[in-house]
Amino acid sequence: MTTLYFNLNDVILILSIGLSVVLALSQPLLTTKLTISKYLLSAFFISIAISDIGIMLIWNDHLPKSELLNLATPYLYAPAILLKGPILVLYVASITHDDFRIRIKDWFHLLPSILIIIVIAVFGIDNKLLRLDTFGIDSAVYRAVDFIWWFVKITPLCYFLYALYTVWKYHRTVFSHNSEVNEEAIVWLYLLTIAYICSAAWSILLSILAVIYRLPLGVTDNYINFILLIALFFYSVSHAQKLTTTKATKSPESRYNDNIDNLIGKIMLGINEQKLYLKPNINVEQFSEMVGLPYRDVSFAINRAFDRNFFEFINTYRVEEAKRYLGDKNCLHMSVMEILLESGFNSKSSFQRFFKRLTGESPTEYRNRVISQAK
């Protein structure tokens, strides 16, 4: 009788392993401006492939395994799982900051993997012990195995939460420093990191249910991870290159060496006389240089006086400029695209989203209403 080596769960793992290897090898071949990010993404895909191989070696009883492979499996599986979190954090940082570099302190992210390798070596944990298959297992070894399983579940969740925090910090910075931001790419990055958080939380919940109710739902992890693998690749190709990057610098308090009225006066000169909002892609540093103020003072004054960030401040005036064109009968020959470019925007989607956010109408709806009322 033919022995069935693989079930549906194994097929998903095999697909995930194969796809991860292909994606990892293809990343260095891609032509992108984000050099470090593609190598970090390759490392992430490799860690997925190794961890999935480890899952198959641990739980598939039909696969032939040598004694050496039984000894090596925990050393492959546990570090690969633990490295996913730090690599994702570094990947998020690399696609959101234009001066990102691997620093000495980043190597400390290897400590969880080193710790787990030490535990495995000290207690001599092999494949069978990792499954708690050995009869009469020593209590100390049992606790060590228990520690390993919970450690490889909880640690990635902590890192994925930190990745979300990194996205949030980037979100605040990019809107405070730039007038043109790809909001869709940021939303997708939020969704991706939140999805990894949910996946890790689900994995922990399954472990708790398995302990309490003996529910065999752990295989659903593999399906979710396969979907996330595809989602991450899709994001890296379609959205990561479109993110507005920022400089990875600290954001100390404004030096605020002028009174608020003088600061606002100089800022408004830049708006009303120089019409700096008409310059596409202008950021707070460029704006500040043109009005003769430190950029931290400009950010401070805009936040304090107008209760908004630089992105909202500049685009509010751009929308007012667009409304002037849209409501002018003499400008009916101009398309919406021409108007948004004349108003300082350079993205149709960004213009339409911000215009509707401020007016409650699309540019076309606003134009039709104002022109019809003027007749």
Concatenate the DSSP letters of all residues of 78-135 into one string. HHHHHHHHHHHHHHHHHHHBTT----GGGGGGGHHHHHHHHHHHHHT--HHHHTT-ST
Q: Stretch 118-134: mean pLDDT, rounded?
A: 87
Give pLDDT tens digits for 321-351.
Answer: 999 999 888 888 899 999 999 999 988 888 8
Give CA–CA dist 69/80, Å, rounded: 16
Question: Cβ distance 129 to 137 under 8 Å?
Answer: yes
Question: Cβ distance 100 to 94 under 8 Å?
Answer: yes
pTM: 0.83
Give residue 250's pLDDT band: very low, low, confident or very high (50, 70, 90): very low
- Which single residue is written with the structure tokens 């409650």? 360
Give CA–CA dist 215/213, Å, rounded: 5
Second-level CATH architecture of 8-242: Up-down Bundle (1.20)
Distance between the two ends of the chain, CA-based, in angstroms? 86
Which range among 4-8, 164-168, 250-254 has the greatest average pLDDT?
164-168
Taking the domains of the chain in order of start, what are their residue ranges? 8-242, 254-307, 311-375
Backbone angles phi, psi at 346, to 5 degrees: -130, 10
Which range among 156-165, 217-226, 350-359 has the greatest average pLDDT?
156-165
Region of poorest pLDDT, from 181-185, 201-205, 308-312: 181-185
Give pLDDT tens digits for 229-238.
Answer: 888 888 887 8
Give CA–CA dist 315/279, Å, rounded: 11
Q: Stretch 157-180: mean pLDDT, rounded?
A: 91
Q: Stretch 3-15: mean pLDDT, rounded?
A: 73
Second-level CATH architecture of 311-375: Orthogonal Bundle (1.10)
Predicted pLDDT of residue 251: 45
Give residue 254's pLDDT band: very low, low, confident or very high (50, 70, 90): very low
Residue 201: is it exposed, middle or buried by C-beta count within 10 angstroms (0-12/13-18/19+)? middle
Predicted pLDDT of residue 115: 97
Q: How many CB atoms lie within 10 A of CB 251?
A: 12
Residue 54 has pLDDT above 60, yes or no: yes
The more confidently predicted of residues 329 and 249 is: 329
Q: Residue 216, CB half-sphere, CA atoms under 13 Å: how many? A: 2
Give CA–CA dist 146/154, Å, rounded: 12
Predicted pLDDT of residue 1: 41
Taking alpha carbons only, the member of 244, 103, 69, 251 closest to residue 174 is 244
Residue 329: is it exposed, middle or buried by C-beta count within 10 angstroms (0-12/13-18/19+)? exposed
Give residue 214's pLDDT band: very low, low, confident or very high (50, 70, 90): low
Give residue 109's pLDDT band: very low, low, confident or very high (50, 70, 90): very high
Give residue 135's pLDDT band: very low, low, confident or very high (50, 70, 90): low
Give CA–CA dist 160/187, Å, rounded: 16
Give residue 182's pLDDT band: very low, low, confident or very high (50, 70, 90): confident
Sign of the torsion formed by the C-alpha atoms of 275, 278, 279 and 283? positive
Predicted pLDDT of residue 252: 44
- DSSP classification of residue 274: S
Concatenate the DSSP letters of all residues of 356-375 into one string. HHHHSS-HHHHHHHHHHHH-
Token pair of 134 as six digits: 């050995």
Residue 218 has pLDDT above 80, yes or no: no
Give CA–CA dist 294/256, Å, rounded: 9
Please list, in sequence order, all residues whose beta carbon lies within 8 angstroms of the beta carbon of residue 336, skipping any fewer than 6 positions away: 326, 348, 363, 364, 367
**Arithmetic mean of pLDDT over the chain:** 86
Residue 88: is it exposed, middle or buried by C-beta count within 10 angstroms (0-12/13-18/19+)? buried
What Cα–Cα distance (Å) separates residue 140 from each residue in 118, 267, 372? 15, 67, 81
Give pLDDT tens digits for 344-367.
Answer: 998 888 888 889 988 899 999 999
**In this prediction, what percent of the chain has a pLDDT beyond 90?**
41
**In this prediction, what percent of the chain has a pLDDT beyond 70?**
90
Taking alpha carbons only, the member of 373, 374, 375, 350 closest to residue 363 is 350
Predicted pLDDT of residue 253: 47
Please list, in sequence order, all residues whose beta carbon lies within 8 angstroms of the beta carbon of residue 59, skipping any fewer than 6 positions away: 131
- DSSP classification of residue 63: S
